[in-house]
Amino acid sequence: MTKLIKASLVLFALTFTTLYAKNGYDYYHYGNGGSNYKKLNKTSITKIAKAEVKRLTMEKKIPKSWKSRGISKIYKSTSDDWRVTFKNLKIKDKSKQNLYIFVGIYGKVKGVNYTGH
């Protein structure tokens, strides 16, 4: 009977130890747009957007012709996020000639599309 109680206590202790263990990374302080991050400037946002285009072409999610295209427009929206526009006249479908990359003020790519919304 005592072996059963001891086994139950050990199991109980191990369960709560693993449930409340931390890995030293505080998501809400560092990973959730916390105040320790600096807002990025236009130059940094440009580099991030170009890297995203390169990544998308390597993963074959967009045509390779986008890789050699420069930024046609970049501006900060009212929500403080950046909208970076690439233009590719080699694309025959006019609705897909503009590629929009949305980058947060801390550098996270928030979305990519052809509509700009």
**What are the pLDDT digits (tens) for 31-68?**
444 455 678 888 888 999 999 999 989 998 988 888 88
Mean pLDDT over 83-102 rounds to 90
Residue 111's SS3 state is: strand
Q: Which residues are within 8 A (CB) of 25 and not within 5 positions of it... i.e. 6 or more apart?
A: 31
pLDDT at residue 78 tops 70: yes
Q: Residue 25's pLDDT is what?
A: 45
- Write the CA distances from 65 to 7, 58, 75, 91, 110, integer angstroms: 64, 11, 23, 8, 23
Q: Name the token pair of 18.
A: 């693993």
Strands of the sheet containing 98-103, edge to edge, are 71-76, 82-87, 98-103, 109-113
> What is the pLDDT at residue 27?
43
pLDDT score of 35:
52
